Amino acid sequence: MIFCNDMFEVVAKVTKELWPDMPWPYIFWADARYLGGMYGQFRKSSIYISTSLSIKSAVIILIHELAHTVNCYLKDLDTEVIDSEVHGSEWQDCFDKINEKYEEAKCMNDLEYL
Ligand SMILES: [Zn+2]
């Protein structure tokens, strides 16, 4: 089975276009009970997304967590310090870049883009 317009693949493709040299994190679907009530979590090399989310919400959470991993990559950190700056301007810039390219790409002819 092949999904021809997989939104998660579109997010991956646009992120790779933006930061082609970034090591790609492993992405796991995780039961909500393992995420402590959160919708997603990240490490430098892995992202966890709750299986309790709708597909649309899971795409946004994937972009959210990817912005964290990109921010770690750009700052050469193993993980971001969780403080008031964790969703600061640098993270927001990464999120906006991925989200804008995703919004453009998902409107393109799927077969042309993939
Ligand atoms: Zn976050």
Residue 1 lies in a domain: no
Residue 93 lies in a domain: yes
Residue 78 lies in a domain: yes
Residue 97 lies in a domain: yes
Residue-number span of the structural domain to which 94 is assigned: 7-22+52-113
Residue 47 lies in a domain: no
Binning pLDDT at 50, 70 and 90, where does residue 110 land? low
Using alpha carbons, select from 65, 72, 77 the residue that is nearest to residue 90.
72
**Residue 44: DSSP 8-state:** S
pLDDT value of residue 76: 82
Distance 1 CA to ligand 1 centre (A): 33
Instruction: Find all residues with CB under 8 Å of 79, minimum gap 6, and list them.
Output: 43, 44, 72
Residue 69 lies in a domain: yes
Distance 89 CA to ligand 1 centre (A): 12
Distance 114 CA to ligand 1 centre (A): 28
- Summarize pLDDT for 17-76 with one digit per residue, the tens: 999 999 999 999 999 888 888 899 988 788 999 999 999 999 999 999 999 999 888 988
Residue 36 lies in a domain: no
Domain count, the chain: 1
Distance 112 CA to ligand 1 centre (A): 32
Distance 4 CA to ligand 1 centre (A): 29
Distance 86 CA to ligand 1 centre (A): 7
Distance 37 CA to ligand 1 centre (A): 14
pLDDT of residue 3 exceeding 90: no
First-to-final CA distance of the chain: 16
Residue 107 lies in a domain: yes
Bridge partners of residue 111, in order along the sequence: none
